[in-house]
Structure 1
């Protein structure tokens, strides 16, 4: 038996996410994590690897979840991308594609970032914290 917390105060969807992250780490970080992720049903893969609320609300979702440092980082990147887009005269279609890609990227890192925030007490400013792929030992 392990002493790992069960996070019973969290909704069931977060408990499943946390259980996966506790056992395998972030999705795609190791061959074992990739295999376990691919073995899940499609619905569970979607809720594990993508957060729709973060996609819709971006950095503000991070604020709601208490990750204000990461939220400020993401907001700063959002502003920088917007300013660069205007200064470079990026066409509207490219600008929309960039915005959609950026919010999709936020949605894919949110669940892992929240796990680190709750389970490990992370106070980092880096929303990509701990996502580097691990190579063979």
Structure 2
């Protein structure tokens, strides 16, 4: 777990040169929250702020979890692609 990435998110990714992965995670974050807001507006269901806060925290945890391995892939393996989940779920 990378605590700097946990607290600073995309800014950390930009500073260490992982801007592609950072933009991908930011886009994923915006897309998920947009879908939730659109669903809330269409269905008329009011989504509480605590649910949105938990989801924001989950995205922060995702940033912190992925940062170290993404940096390893960039520096050691030379892979600087757009997929932030590359190699995480495979053996």
Identify the TM-score tier after normalising by the shorter chain: 0.7 to 0.9
Q: What's the CA shift for 1:117? A: 0.6
CA distance in structure 1 between the partners assigned to 2:11 and 2:86 by the alignment = 18
| Aligned residue number for residue 55 of structure 1 | 6
| Aligned residue number for residue 83 of structure 1 | 34
Alignment of 1:53-132 (within 5 A): 53-89=4-40, 90-132=47-89
Q: What's the CA shift for 1:62? A: 0.8
| Displacement over 4 Å in runs of 4+ | none
SS at match of 1:131: coil
In the alignment of these two chains, the number of paired residues is 85
RMSD: 1.2
The structure that has the greater radius of gyration is 1
Q: What's the CA shift for 1:85? A: 2.8
Instruction: Indicate the structure whose relative CO is greater, using CA pairs within 8 Å and at least 6 residues apart.
Output: 2
Q: What's the CA shift for 1:99? A: 0.7
More helix by share: 2
Runs (5+) with no aligned partner, structure 1: 1-49
Runs (5+) with no aligned partner, structure 2: 41-46
